[in-house]
Amino acid sequence: MTAASIFLLILWFGAHGFIIAVAFRLPGYRIGLVASAFMLAMLFLLKPYTYDLKKYSIYFDTGFIETQGWKSPDGDIDFQLYQKDTTGDPFMGAYEYGFRKLAHLTHELLPSGALMPRIDPDYGDLKQRGPPRSDAAIIFIAIVGFGLLLSGVGLFSQRQPSAVVAENARWLLVSVVILGSIFFVLGSQNTLRQFLGFSLVLNAMALASLRKYVLMLAILIASGLFHRWAPILGSILVGIVLVSEMALAKGSLREVRAFRPSHFEMLMFAFGCFLAIGIKLIAVFGLFNLDIPFVGELKPYLIKEEDHFALERLTVLKKAVLLGLLFLVSEVIVGKTNDLEFNKFRTLRRMSFLFIIPLALYSEVFSRVLVIFWLSELLFIIWALSSNQLRSRLAGAAVFCAYGIAPNAINVIIGPNWLYGF
């Protein structure tokens, strides 16, 4: 591991560590939030292009999707795609319509190439190597996604504004939690299309809570312009929100205990089991070979299951166990709560977790439906840290800090070579 990579990790860990001061409401915790925001911003500007950022950067620069690799006839900087990848018109390809148009727009309006030196994951220096970088486009998408997430939190807070915006540092706290979340770091630095699509989904969830169903449906449909599966998985999240609102209306959220699941929560677990069985039946009877929308797309994920090994990828069992342990520990820390607004988000998180766990039977499917839990987790952390109850704030800080040491986040920040070094 290079000194530069260690520096990036210090920024990442340090930004998460300051949240402990927020949990205990220590003197000067607002300064800690400012420091966290600064450290996270610096991190995202300096970190290397890891995983899909390279592929997307090439697309923003050329309008073509790199599948065959690239060549550099005249040294490190010179870059050429193979002819097979440059057939047809630029900014067409397999990506969703909205993302293609957004990419084309950034290509036309924003400066191309590198805007600032970035750390190389292999050498630890600031020399640019490999394909061209599209810093402006990457930063623009991160800002758009960040704005959409802020908008979603703001819409959720309309039901009880004091829960989020009472203190002058509240929106700074929300910003730090968003920037340091698993959803943001994996999305803005890897899965850009999913990031934009599900950032819109968060707004649809909030609109469902506000009973603005027409606008909710419009935004849910719009999310499909950036990621094909966003409206499908987003509908599940919207459904979970509506179920939590039903529970709130029926008085089921007046008191929530750690190991006392409600009927609504068990309903979501049953739905997850039903879906897991349905996927198995699709595989057994070969239904993904039929021309059925979305069903056929399951085939690569079902046959891929552990067909290749990568040291940096946790197995589905490890993912499920680690998530389960963190979930249980945080629930124990929270204990019994009677804050209706916080209980709504706590219940939303519990229902999301119970829904996705049965899908751990399928490694690749589970890795992708985790976005449902990441969004719920983001809301849980924000409202937990905003709570007047110390135990709730400690639980929010524990979850936030735990994700700060998540291997998948570290891989995206500095690249996977640190693991291979062992």
DSSP 51-92: THHHHHHHHHHHSS---S-EE-TTSSS--EE-GGGG-S-TT-
d(CA 422, CA 417): 9
Secondary structure class of 120 (helix, strand, coil): coil
Cβ count near 189 (within 10 Å): 23
Residue 162 is predicted with a pLDDT of 46
* Structural domain includes residue 58: no
* Structural domain includes residue 87: no
* Structural domain includes residue 127: no
* Structural domain includes residue 113: no
Residue 364 is predicted with a pLDDT of 80
Residue 67 is predicted with a pLDDT of 81
pLDDT in tens, the chain (422 residues): 789 999 999 999 999 999 999 999 898 888 999 999 999 999 999 999 998 999 999 999 999 988 877 776 555 556 778 788 888 889 987 899 999 999 999 999 999 889 989 998 888 888 888 788 999 999 999 999 999 999 999 999 876 544 443 456 788 999 999 999 999 999 999 999 999 999 999 999 999 999 999 999 999 999 999 999 999 999 999 999 999 988 888 888 889 998 899 999 999 999 999 999 988 887 777 666 666 666 656 665 665 554 445 656 678 888 899 999 999 999 999 999 998 889 999 999 999 999 999 999 888 888 889 999 999 999 999 999 988 899 999 999 999 999 999 999 999 999 887 776 65
8 A C-beta contact, residue 416 and residue 43: no
Q: Which of 416, 418, 420 is nearest to 190 (CA)?
A: 416
Q: Which of 417, 415, 408 is nearest to 183 (CA)?
A: 408
Please state at what angle helix 3-17 crosses helix 29-46, rounded to 10 degrees: 150
Secondary structure class of 337 (helix, strand, coil): strand
* Structural domain includes residue 13: yes
8 A C-beta contact, residue 163 and residue 343: no
* Structural domain includes residue 9: yes
Domain that holds residue 295: 3-49+136-420
Burial degree of 259 (CB within 10 A; 0-12, 13-18, 19+): exposed
Residue 165 is predicted with a pLDDT of 38
Number of domains in the chain: 1
Q: Which of 98, 93, 214 is nearest to 148 (CA)?
A: 98
d(CA 203, CA 150): 9
d(CA 168, CA 353): 32
d(CA 246, CA 227): 29
* Structural domain includes residue 35: yes
* Structural domain includes residue 378: yes
Pick left, alpha or beta for residue 66 (phi over 0 → left; psi -120 to 50 → alpha; otherwise beta). beta
